[in-house]
Chain A
Amino acid sequence: MTKAISVSGLHKSFGGTHALDGLDLDVESGEVHGFLGPNGAGKSTTIRVLLGLLRADSGAAQVLGRDPWADAVEVHRRIAYVPGDVTLWRNLSGGEVIDLYGRLRGGLDPGRRAELVERFELDPTKKGRTYSKGNRQKVALVAAFASDVDLLILDEPTSGLDPLMEEVFQRCVAEERDRGRTILLSSHILSEVEELCDRVSIIRRGQTVETGSLAELRHLTRTSVTAELAGAPNGLALLPGVHDLHVRGYQVRFQVETDKLDAVLRSLSESGVRSLTSTPPTLEELFLRHYQEDMAAQGVAR
């Protein structure tokens, strides 16, 4: 597979602030890639570098095989972008903006446009400021999904959408993936990322801290296990990778590093298992773990 986006060692500072501090990001062609990180981690800065709106201080970036700064126009012909905060012109209707953006990209599929307007329940005759935040986002989303492009860059595109529209959005992303398009999705809605994304990258303070498929990432973290045993547990506490062990009679509750699960299960079955629940880590836990490390690091710094 070729890479739709490949970024390595990206640095960008504004005055004294280092927004990007050696960031790496690889997005394969045809995948939906989740882009996660706490506020101010550098997600939007990265996206704006990928769009050639900012020039990186150092590091390499390629989008669709080209330099996003030098070949901005050529690259943009094959990209649709939805900003997190969509601002429209007060005297242009939503329909006019959709068509304008479409024409300024590779073109617009009129049938798809009509269908999307219908599905997102958007009134395209309203003008700029009369749209709510969610409706302004719908204008940008319709323009992006109806455009004939290879790569969609979506920067927190659903922050103003209601749950019904969120579902429409998720279906649209799935359809785009099925057509072979690549999507970079920056989002705070972890269920959305979990549902849609093939791979995710988590960034923190301008650096990539975790990247891979959800399955791979889960492998690196802990699974929660609750079990009722036939007899007293033996030697559980001594096994490597077991944490937070609570024992009450024959009941045990603990966390285990996912790659050590095998040995733990063997030990449990030696005691005899009456019931067992094991919960894989959610993306939220993955995310929170990094986030909390961040907070802890800040706490230490203070």
Chain B
Amino acid sequence: MTATAFDPRPTSSQTTGPGPTSSRQLAGTGALLRFALRRDRAMIPIWVAVNALMVLSMPNTLEGLYTTPAERADLLTQMSANSSLRAMIGPVFGDSIGALTAWRVGVYAGALAAVTSLLVVVRHTRDEEESGRQELVASGMVGRRASLTAALLAAAVANTLLALLVVAGLAARGATGALAFGIGIAGVGMVFATMAAIVAQLTESARLARGLTAAVLGAAFALRAAGDSATDDGSSALTWLSPLGWLENLRPYADERWWVLLLFVTAVAGQATVAYALAGRRDVGMSFLPTRPGPAAGRLGSAAALAWRLQRGSVFGWSIGFFLAGLVYGGMTDGAADLVGDNDNAREIIERMGGQAGLTDAFLSAMVGMLGLIAALYVVASVLRLHGEETSGRAEPVLANAVGRLRWAAGHLVIAFGGAALIMLLAGLGFALGYGKETGPILGACLVQVAGVWVVGGLAVLLHGVAPRAAMAAWGVAGAVLLIGWVGPALDVPQTVLDLSPFGHLPKLPGGEMEWGPVLVLLLLAAALTGAGLAGLRRRDMTS
């Protein structure tokens, strides 16, 4: 079968270890690395800058919130006592500003570095092979393992840059802690870079490689959350199973445990070895998980059916993810109320995450809001399928059939907008099941978020319809909305900036008052943006 790639016959040029062959296998790495960094000259700096901004803004924010050491000590006790917050953020190991910063943003900075790394690695490995560009590159003076090496080095450059920014920016709070924290974040990034390198050998699809690696990251987050909710010092075996847990257990700013870095080194070295072994044994463009043959005749009969066929996998994935997230956070909700209800500081933390008074509701509201922001990523990815179909040349023959542009677009947009409502509904069901109470209000709160998600989706439709060359800027919109929602309230950003995000106008549910006004305005706005985008699509030239 031609689709299988594994060649069990070891040939001397492929599998012999050290010696002159192995250095030839890296031929061309330098040129490829420069090429990769040139292609990523915008992407890497933006991801790194956003991550560094999130980390480096935290000390001032914390100082503003907790002005005296006594207040910080108070915070430490409360947070340590609360299993739900530990599950969300991680355990606290000290009451210095540095230690609190590492606690508050550590897991998220590590996760963001992991996302950056996996995107970079898949982009320069499987993406290149899937598009066929790799064939041309590999025909040059390029070693069998050079592309993988260049991809990993590009990820290493990004992570080193991030570590340097974190170390430099936090050095004033203590150089040792800053060093541990910076290296730890970069370490998580490299663990997922090498993980992505393995997954990229296993699948033929770059999309699938990204999805699988992101699922591993989600599992790492969940393991750590489960472990941290059980113990208050990160000592649970579950926490130790997660690279994000290692970052906590490095304990920056709280008697750093440097030996934990060995775990990062071992994991990175081990995974890289596996990836290199796999990369050297397979054919270019092929994978270890072979593509199965498909049916000789098809039942697809409409543009909508085609769109569903192309997007159903990602809809299933997001649905499962959102339901599980709802279930987990719903299950934690009662624990969140263990917090001393009359403590202003603790409540302020929750409030700044987007909730309102009444701690259970505030917690639920914050979590629902967070999932709403993440659903904005889904809607952008789904709408931009139109862009991907168009630029790849696959839309052209479809549109040369008796399929109008609006019908073609509608097939994808129904999935984008309907899917956004579906995943929020499933998240709500998860919350309701996990929490066991207030089913109606929780479902309502989740569905209200859909209005905000749709506005972001509408903007993506507008960009694709009116300015197709700028369609990818829709990711920037989603990123800005996420940043405003997650970091904005903590940064004392002017209200006018906060108001730019549609999510800032939604009522804080459950717990707050339902306000139909802003929700209706957002729905109308989403409809207007979508309509304008579709009108643009009808009028413009198709790009190729």
Contact = CB atoms under 8 A, between A and B. Distances in A.
Contacts of B299: 96, 99
B8 interface: no
B394 A124 contact: no
Contacts of B404: 72-73
Contacts of A74: 402
A90 B130 contact: yes
Interface string B260-302: 0000000000000000000000000100000111111111111
Given A92-B298, A125-B294, A76 B394 contact: no
Interface residues of B, number: 40
Interface string A82-97: 1101111111110111
B310 interface: yes
Interface in A10-62: 48, 51-55
B398 interface: yes
B2 interface: yes
B408 to A, nearest CB: 10
A125 B293 contact: yes
A95 B397 contact: no
Contact of A54 (B309, B400, B542): B542
A92 B542 contact: no
B355 to A, nearest CB: 41
Interface in B183-238: 204-205
A85 B400 CA distance: 14
A81 interface: yes
A286 B303 CA distance: 44
B418 interface: no
A130 B295 contact: no
A106 B399 CA distance: 14
Interface string A103-128: 11110000000000000000011110
Nearest to B2: A130
A101 interface: yes
Nearest to A140: B397
A4 interface: no
B396 A53 contact: yes
Nearest to B389: A89
A100 B298 contact: yes
A103 to B, nearest CB: 4
B401 interface: yes
B392 interface: yes
A89 B310 contact: yes
B513 to A, nearest CB: 47
Given A87-B392, A127-B291, A53 B298 contact: no
A99 B297 contact: yes
A87 B394 contact: yes
Contacts of A105: 401-402
Nearest to A100: B300
A132 to B, nearest CB: 11
A83 B398 CA distance: 11
B296 A54 contact: no
B302 A103 contact: yes
Interface string B325-351: 000000000000000000000000000
A103 B403 contact: no
B3 interface: yes
B476 interface: no
Contact of B300 (A81, A99, A140): A99
A126 B401 contact: no
B53 interface: no
Nearest to A90: B205
A126 B295 CA distance: 8
Contacts of A52: 399
A51 B399 contact: yes
B58 to A, nearest CB: 42
B306 interface: yes
B45 interface: no
B303 A104 contact: yes
A79 interface: yes
B291 A130 contact: yes
A98 interface: yes
A89 B397 CA distance: 12
Given A73-B402, A77-B402, A100-B306, A125 B394 contact: no
A129 interface: yes
A72 B400 CA distance: 8
A95 B301 contact: no
Contact of A92 (B3, B294, B302, B397): B294
A82 B300 CA distance: 19
B541 interface: yes
B64 interface: no
Given A89-B310, A89-B394, A96 B297 contact: yes
Contact of A104 (B285, B297, B302): B302
A219 to B, nearest CB: 36
B397 A81 contact: yes
A106 B402 contact: yes
Interface string B502-544: 0000000000000000000000000000000000000111101
Contacts of B295: 93, 95-96, 125
A92 B309 contact: yes
Interface in A123-181: 124-127, 129-130, 140, 153
A98 B298 contact: yes
A74 B301 CA distance: 17
Contact of B401 (A88, A91, A104): A104
A76 B544 CA distance: 19
B131 to A, nearest CB: 9
A104 B398 CA distance: 8
B393 interface: yes
Contact of B541 (A54, A83, A90, A129): A54
Given A55-B541, A126-B294, A130-B3, A83 B399 contact: no
Contacts of B544: 48, 53
Nearest to A133: B132
B392 A124 contact: no
Contacts of A83: 393, 396-397, 400
B291 A97 contact: no
Given A100-B298, A126-B294, A127-B291, A76 B403 contact: yes
B466 to A, nearest CB: 15
A42 to B, nearest CB: 14
Contacts of A96: 294-295, 297-300
A92 B291 CA distance: 11
- Which of B296, B393, B400 is packed against the most chain A CB atoms within 10 Å? B400
A88 B306 CA distance: 12
Contacts of B205: 90-91
A180 B539 CA distance: 34
Given A90-B130, A90-B204, A76 B296 contact: no
Contacts of A81: 397, 400-401
Interface string A241-263: 00000000000000000000000
A85 B393 contact: yes
6 contacts: A81-B397, A82-B397, A92-B309, A95-B294, A96-B299, A129-B291
Give the top 6 A-B pairs by smallest Cβ distance, nearest first: A93-B294, A96-B298, A104-B401, A81-B400, A125-B293, A77-B402
Given A55-B541, A125-B294, 4 more contacts: A72-B399, A76-B401, A104-B398, A130-B3
Interface of B: 2-3, 130, 204-205, 285, 291-303, 306, 309-310, 392-394, 396-405, 539-542, 544
